Amino acid sequence: MSSEHHDESATHTYRRQNYLAGAQPLISQVARVARAQEVGVFMILAVMVLALSVFTDTFLKSDTIFNVLRAFSWIAISSFGQILVIITGGIDLSVGSVMALSGLTAAIAMNWWGAPVALGILVGLVTGAAIGLINGLLISKANLPPFIATLGLMSIARGVCSGIVGGWPVRDLPKSFIFAGQYDVPVGDWGVPLPVIFMIVLAVLMSLFLTRSVWGYRIYALGGNEQAAALSGINTGRVKILVYTLCGLLTAIGGLLMTARLGVASSDAAKGYELNVIAAAVIGGTSLSGGEGTVLGALIGAAIQQVLRTGLILSGVSAYWQEAAIGLVIILAIMMDQFRKRRR
Amino acid sequence: MEITQERQPLLEVRGVSKAFPGVQALENVDFEAYPGEVVALLGENGAGKSTLMKILSGVYHMDSGQIRLRGQPTVPRDPHHAQQLGIAIIYQEFNLTPNQSVATNIFLGREPYVPGFFGTARIVDYQRMRREAAALLAQVGARFSPDALVRDLSVAQQQMVEIAKALAVKAEIIIMDEPTSALGPEEVTVLFDIVHRLKSQGLAVIFITHRLEEVFRVADRIVVLRDGRRVGAMPISQASTEAIISLMVGRALEGHTQVDAGRLGGDIVLEVRGLTRRGVIHDVSFSLRRGEILGIAGLVGAGRTETVRAIFGADPLDAGEIYVEGRRVHITSPEAAMQAGLALVPENRQRQGLVLIQSVERNIALPSLERLSRRRFVDRKRMRQLGHTYVDRLRIRTPSLEQRVLFLSGGNQQKVVLAKWLATGPKVLILDEPTRGIDVGAKAEVHSIMRDLAERGIGIIMISSEMPEILAMSDRILVMCEGRVAGILDRAEATQERIMAYASGATLAQADGNGR
C-alpha cells in the first residue's frame, strides 16, 4: 500500500538487529546479569561477610549466621511491603508503629481477652492490614501525599499503642505464640529459626507476585508513569490501596515475629524501624522516584544492615556507633547505584 | 588572511563526525550560519540534527572536525561555555522554574547584585533585574510583566521567556528545537514575528522543525541531513516541498491516496449526545461509522482533547450520553471505556502514552494484561508473541522487545502507543495529534496504518492541528470552537478556509466571501 522501499528498509533493519541480538545471547545475558540491580549490593554484602569471616573466628558459625538472619527477618519482611509502596512512587513511614501496634493488639487479644493464639495472630494481622488500608484510602481517595498520610498514621498508631496500655508492656505471652519467634526448625545439622523460614517463603511469594502477576505489572507501570497507567485502563486508586494494605499486612507479620521473639509486647517497640525498612529497600536498588525495585534487593539491603551491626559488635566497636555506620552504607550504596546507572 | 566571500559566516562547521556505540550519528558534516539569517535544519528523526545541535551547544563533543565562530576556531566544552561563546539553545522542553517570576527566570544563575556595600553581601538587585527583563521582553514583543509567575503563562509565553533568556546572555546564535510543536496557529505566527525580529537584529537563528510548511514561512536557507550526512542545502527560493521530502527520506513518498467511497457505508459504531463538562465542553454531539475517519479540527483550547478525554472516561462528564454499536454505555473510567471497545492514543506520548523506563514489550502488553494472563499471572510467552506480532505489523524499529521505549525515536514511540491499543482490539480508535513531532517518514507510516485500520472496519477519530493532515485523512471533519461543535463538514465540501472559519467562530458565508 505505502511505498515499497519503505517496507524493505524497515524489515531489513528489524531482521538484522534481531539477528544481532540472537548472535550474542551469552554475552548479552552476562551483561544483563552484571547490570542487574542486585549485583552491586550483593557484592557489598559478600565483601562484608568475607571480611568478617576472615577477621573474626565467631562469625562463620551457624549460630551467628542464623542469629543475624533472624535479627533482620522482620525488617526484611516489612521491606517486602515497603518496596511495593515505593515502586508505585509512594512511601510508608508508618511501618515501625504498625509493627508495634500489631504485636500489641495480638498480645492484648491473647492475654487480656484470652483469645486462642491463632485468633490473636489474626487480630494482629488485621490490625496491620487495616492501617495499611487507611493509608491507601487517604492517599487514593483523599489525595493526600503518601509522606503526609503515613506520617500521620505513624503518629496515630504509636499513640494508640501507648494509649491502650498506658505505656506498660504486655508480658507473659502464651508459650505457643513465643514459639513462632524462638523455635529453630531442624534442617540437617542446623536449627533454622522459624522467622527465617517465614522470610524466605514470603520473599519467594512476593517476588512471584511482583514480577509475574497482573498486579505486579500494574504496580511497576503505575510507578513508571501514573498518567500513562491510568489511561491504559488501570484503576490506579485500587492499585494504591492494594500496595498500602499489603505493606501493612506484611509489616504486621514482621511485627508479630518480632513480638514473639522478644516475648513481650511493648508500646515503644520498633521505634525508628521505618528508617531501617526504607533503608533496606533503598540500599537494595529500589528507586524512590518509582518504577524500579526488587524483593531480592530489599532482602540484601536488610541483610547488609544487620551484618554491619553484628560485624561492628564482633569487632568490638561500641554499639553507639552503629547508626552512623548504617548511614554511611546507605550513602555509599546509592552512590554506587547512580554510578552504575550513568554508565549504562 | 584568505580572501573571503562577501559574507563571513558567523558559524562555520567543517567535517564534523560523531559516533555513538553502534551508530555513526554524524559523518563529515558541514554546516554554516550567517548573521541575520534563519537556517532550517531538516531531516528525519535519527538523521543527526539533535546530535549536531548538541555538539554546538557543548552537550556532546565531536570525534573530529572543526568549528569556527566569527572565523575563530573553537570547541564548545560544555553548555555554559557554549553560552559564553554566544550560542543558546531552546529545547522543546523548557528549562524554567514555574513558581518563580519571569525576571528571576531570565537571570537565573546570573543575578545582578545590589551595588556598593551590599554588593559584598551579594544581595540580588531585583529592581535592576526587572528593568532589564522588561527591556528584553520588549525586544521579543512580549506583553506580560516581568513579575508574572512562569506557571501562569501559556506555552507560547514561556517560550518567549526562553528566548529572552537567550538574549540576556547576548547570544548571537539561537538554536530552536521544534519550537512550534506545542503552539497553536496564532502563536506560531507570533513566534515567527519574533524570529524575524531577531534576524533583523543580526542574529543567526537555527530552526529545527518537522512541519515543512513552516520552513517556507520562516527560513532563508535549508540544510538537510540524512543518516548522519549532509545531503543537501539550498536557499529557500530554490526549494520545493517535494524536493525537501525526497532529500530527507532519500526517496519519493506517494501522494495521499483518496478514500474509496465504498468504505463509508458502515453502521454507526459510536454516537455521543450532548456531552457537557461545565466550563470546558458544551453539548457536543456526533456519530462515527465503522471504517470512517472523523477528523476533529479547531484551535488550541477549543475543547478537542477535553472531548475525547471525556468520552474515554479520563475526565468526568456533567451530562451526555454515549452509545457504542447502538447500546448505551456508562463510561466512568478508562477501564470502562476499554471494555466498551474504545481506545485512546493520547496527545503527549511521553507523558501520557508510555511508561518510558519500561520495555517495548511491556508497554504493548499493558492494557491487555488481563487477556494475557492465566489465573492473574501473566503468561510471558504470550506477551512476547503479542510484542513480536505488533513490532512486525507496525514495523517498529527497535533492537529488541526488551529495549526501553525511552531509547526509541519519536515515530517508533508513537507506533508503540498505537500497538498497545491495537492489541486490545478496539472498535473505536481515538487519536489525539497522532503525528505531532514525528518525522515525515514515520508520519506517512502512521497515516497508512490508520487507513488500513479504517478499511478493517475500525471507526477512527483523529484530532489534529495540522490542516493538511486533517484534509488528507478525514472522511468528515468536525470543527470545534470554544467547547462547542461549530460545524461538521463532509470531505467534499471541506476547505482550509471553511475549517478556519468554523474554528474561529465565523460563519461559512463569511468564509466563502459572500456574507457579512
CATH number of the domain enclosing B152 = 3.40.50.300
| pLDDT tens per residue, range A294-334 | 999 999 999 999 998 888 888 888 878 888 888 888 888 77
**ipTM of the complex in this document:** 0.82
On whether both B177 and B282 belong to a single domain, the answer is no
Residues B119 and B242 in one domain: yes
Q: Which chain B residues are closer than 8 Å to A17 by Cβ?
A: 398-400
Please name the residue of chain B whose CA is at the shortest distance from the CA of residue A20: B399
Cβ atoms of residues B96 and B162 within 8 Å: yes
Same domain, yes or no: A63 and A28: no
Distance, CA of B280 to CA of B424 (rounded, Å): 29
Which cell numbers in the block locate residue A88? 508505585
Q: Is residue B355 part of a domain?
A: yes
Question: What distance in Å separates the CA atoms of residue A4 and residue A283, rounded to the nearest whole number?
Answer: 52
Residue A170 in this model has a pLDDT that exceeds 60: yes
Kindly state whether residues B281 and B416 are assigned to the same domain: no
Tell whether A16 is within 8 A of chain B (Cβ). no
Mean pLDDT across chain B: 87
- Domain co-membership, B152 together with B300: no
Interchain CB distance below 8 Å, B351 and A221: no
Q: What is the CATH number of the domain that holds A91?
A: 1.10.3470
**For position B45, what pLDDT does the model report?**
67
DSSP class per residue in B262-300: GGGGPPEEEEEEEEEETTTEEEEEEEEETT-EEEEEE-T
Average model confidence (pLDDT) for chain A?
Answer: 86
A61, pLDDT greater than 80? no
Q: Are residues B93 and B159 in the same domain?
A: yes
Q: Which run of H or E residues covers position B481?
A: strand B476-481
| Statement to judge: residues B238 and B124 lie in one domain | yes
- Band of pLDDT at residue A88, cut at 50, 70 and 90: very high
Q: Tell me the chain A residues in contact with residue B377 when contact means C-beta distances shorter than 8 Å.
A: 208, 212-214
Predicted local confidence at residue B265, as pLDDT: 63
A9 in the same domain as A56: no
Query: What does the pLDDT average to over B84-93?
Result: 87
Euclidean distance between CA atoms A137 and A123, whole angstroms: 21
pLDDT at B26 over 80: yes
Q: Are residues A136 and A259 in the same domain?
A: yes
CB contact under 8 A, A233 and B420: no
Mean pLDDT of the B500-510 span: 68
Q: pLDDT value at position B432?
A: 94
Supply the pLDDT for residue A29.
Answer: 59
Q: How far is B152 from chain A (nearest CA, A)?
A: 22
Q: pLDDT, tens digit, for every residue of B415-429? A: 999 999 999 999 999
Residue A30's domain spans which residues?
Answer: 1-35
Confidence check: pLDDT of A18 > 60: no
Same domain? A173 vs A314: yes
Domain end, chosen from B249, B275, B295, is at: B249
| d(C-alpha B239, C-alpha B360), whole Å | 38
Instruction: Clarify whether residues B116 and B28 are in a common domain.
Output: yes
Q: Which of B409, B425, B441 is the last residue of a domain?
A: B425
Our count of domains for chain A comes to: 2
Query: Residue A294: is it exposed, middle or buried by C-beta count within 10 angstroms (0-12/13-18/19+)?
Result: buried
Residues of A in contact with B400 (CB under 8 A): 17-18, 21
B119 and B154, same structural domain? yes
pLDDT of residue B22: 65
Predicted local distance difference test score (pLDDT) of residue B156 = 83
Q: With CB atoms and an 8 Å threshold, state whether B358 touches A224.
A: yes
* Residue B445 near chain A (CB below 8 Å): yes
Tell me, yes or no, whether A83 and A21 share the same domain: no
Distance CA B450, CA B39 (A): 34
Inter-chain residue contact B366 with A217, CB threshold 8 Å: yes
pLDDT band per the 50, 70, 90 thresholds, residue B439: confident
- Give the residue on A whose Cα is nearest the Cα of B253: A3
CATH of the domain at B509: 3.40.50
Residue B317 vs residue B256, higher pLDDT: B317
Residues A134 and A12 occupy one common structural domain: no
Shared-domain flag, residues A239 and A100: yes
Together in a domain, B68 and B136: yes
Query: Closest to A233 (Cβ–Cβ): which among B334, B353, B444?
Result: B334
Domain that holds residue B47: 21-249
pLDDT on residue A36: 64
Q: What is the average per-residue pLDDT within B190-199?
A: 90
Work out the pLDDT band at A179, boundaries 50, 70, 90: confident
Say if B11 falls within a structural domain: no
Taking the Cβ of residue B374 and every Cβ of chain A, the question of whether any pair is shorter than 8 Å is answered with: no
| Structural domains counted in chain B | 3
Answer yes or no: do A212 and A314 share one domain.
yes
Kindly tell me if the per-residue pLDDT of A16 is higher than 80. Answer: no
Query: Where a domain ends, among B249, B269, B301?
Result: B249
B405 lies in some domain: yes
Specify if B12 maps to a domain: no
- What confidence score (pLDDT) does residue A17 get? 42
Q: Which of residues 205-244 of A touch B (CB under 8 A)?
A: 208, 212-215, 217-218, 220-221, 224-225, 227-235
pLDDT at residue A334 in the model: 78
From A134-138, A294-298, B310-314, B395-399, the region with the lowest mean pLDDT: B395-399
User: Is position B380 within any domain?
Assistant: yes
How many residues comprise chain B? Answer: 516
A208 chain-B contacts, CB cut-off 8 A:
377
Contacts of A218 in chain B (CB under 8 A): 369
Say if residue B35 is in the same domain as residue B156. yes
Instruction: Clarify whether residues A123 and A8 are in a common domain.
Output: no
On chain B, the residues whose CB falls within 8 A of the CB of A228 are 351-355, 366
User: For testing the chain B interface, which of A1, A28, A32, A231 should be mutated: the one with the most B CBs within 10 Å?
Assistant: A231
